[in-house]
Amino acid sequence: MEPGGVTVSALYLLGELSRRGTDCHAIATLDASGPLAERFHAAGIGVHEVLRHGKAAYPLPYRAAKWLRAQARLTFGQRLARLLAHLKPDVVQSSVYHREVLAQQRAAHRIGARFILQIKTRDRSFTCGPHADRFIDRMQPGDQVVVVGESVARIHAAFLDRVPWLTIPNGVPDHGPVEAARRADLHRRLRVPPDVRLVGGIGRLVEHKHWHDLIDAAAGLDRVHVLLVGDGDARPYLLARAAAAGVTVHLPGETLDPFDWLNALDVFVLPSLSEGLPVSMLEAMARGLPIVAADVIGSRDLIDHGRTGLLVPLADPPALARALRRAWAAGDSLGQAARSAYVQHYTVGRVADAYQTLHA
């Protein structure tokens, strides 16, 4: 399991529902191993693996390999149907946006379960593709489509006009505002001088996140370091870009505790090219951090410009630098307003309430 926004938001939601007594299970279609899977287990969530292609990416003993080959002869839908017949869920929810949605829908209906499709990104490959008609034709009473925000709903409007749908945002747990003592500990760990501001974000180090815009913006600011918590293919490029710009960048790698690392930041920044309803930004709002983000869908659903954060044009490092100065000048006001908006709309408790109403 990779620590992306869709998987992490599922962990938060299922963890809260499990805490309330719901028997929750997560089904991975790529890989059900790794530290994040352990967090699902620790939250009382059953974790299962139904590989889309029926293959393993690692050597297996003879008996296991023989079993896997037999499983591979079954289609993805058949293997999923077998698992669901064993689990006997009342509701099956999916955040997948490819043709396997049809197999998931069919497997859910085969055991009499309701099927809920969650749309969390701008990807229209399913909702505007040939499989959408088949999905709609097969919908049964009680099936539902859920979108995470207004911008995502507008992108998928043609599909949503044909199905029953509602908006339920992502939600994150409340760990309280930034802890000053922990901030000092993290700054010492990173060797950040006392008079240096630390700006950055949490997420995959990939091209579409546009972290290089933040590095370029920091190059025009005095006494600023950049913290990027995550990993990905862009890591070598970002290190080289920072070195060329004379910017100190801290790359501690992936984390399973984003709320802890958020303690270190003075300003949370998300210069991403596109978002659904960014979980990392919700985590920053929960911590009461000032937020500066690119003015793209998803981010603009969360940020009331000038009140709960600042939006800047995409791929505009000078504008990003100006917004960082403005965020510092605003003191605690932006962060307090962001946390207030989080408490009113985006706690995982409120989101779980909405899903329990939907499931009833």
Please list the pLDDT of the chain residue by residue as tens digits (360 residues): 777 888 999 999 999 999 999 999 999 887 778 888 999 999 999 999 887 655 444 445 656 655 665 655 568 888 899 999 999 999 999 987 677 899 999 999 999 999 999 999 888 888 998 889 999 999 999 999 999 999 999 999 999 999 999 999 999 999 999 999 999 999 999 999 999 999 999 999 999 999 999 999 999 999 999 999 999 999 999 999 999 999 999 999 999 999 999 999 999 999 999 899 999 999 999 999 999 999 999 999 999 999 999 999 999 999 999 999 999 999 999 999 999 999 999 999 999 999 999 999
Q: What is the pLDDT of residues 21-57, one digit of tens each?
A: 999 999 988 777 888 899 999 999 999 988 765 544 4
Which runs of E-coded beta strand occur in the chain?
25-28, 46-49, 91-94, 114-119, 144-147, 165-167, 197-202, 224-229, 249-250, 267-270, 291-294, 310-312
Which residues are bridge partners to 250 per DSSP? 227
Do 5-172+347-359 and 180-345 show the same overall fold? yes
The upper half-sphere exposure of residue 184, i.e. CA atoms within 13 Å in the direction of its Cβ, equals: 2
The single residue listed with the structure tokens 């690119």 is 294
Write down the domain spans for the chain: 5-172+347-359, 180-345
- Phi, psi of 144, rounded to the nearest 5 degrees: -155, 155
Q: How far apart are CA 305 and CA 294, in angstroms?
A: 11
Helix (H, G, I), strand (E, B) or coil at 238: helix
CA dihedral 77, 56, 206, 222 (to 10 degrees): 130
Q: How far apart are CA 273 and CA 298, in angstroms?
A: 10
Q: How far apart are CA 245 and CA 74, in angstroms?
A: 53
- Phi, psi of 253, rounded to the nearest 5 degrees: 95, -170
Helix (H, G, I), strand (E, B) or coil at 224: strand
CATH number 2.40.30.130 given to 180-345:
no
The single residue listed with the structure tokens 């938060």 is 12
Q: How far apart are the first and last CA of the chain?
A: 29
Q: How far apart are CA 323 and CA 290, in angstroms?
A: 11
Answer whether 18's CB lies under 8 Å from 43's CB. Answer: yes
Q: How far apart are CA 107 and CA 316, in angstroms?
A: 47
Q: What is the pLDDT of residues 114-151, one digit of tens each?
A: 999 999 988 888 899 888 999 999 999 999 999 999 99
Fold of the domain spanning 5-172+347-359: Rossmann fold (3.40.50)
Question: If you write DSSP's letter for every residue of 106-159 in order, what string do you get?
Answer: HHHHHTT-EEEEEE-SS--TTTTSTHHHHHHHH--TT-EEEES-HHHHHHTHHH
- Rounded-to-5 percentages of helix, strand, coil across the chain: 45, 15, 40
How would you classify the pairing of strands 249-250 and 224-229?
parallel
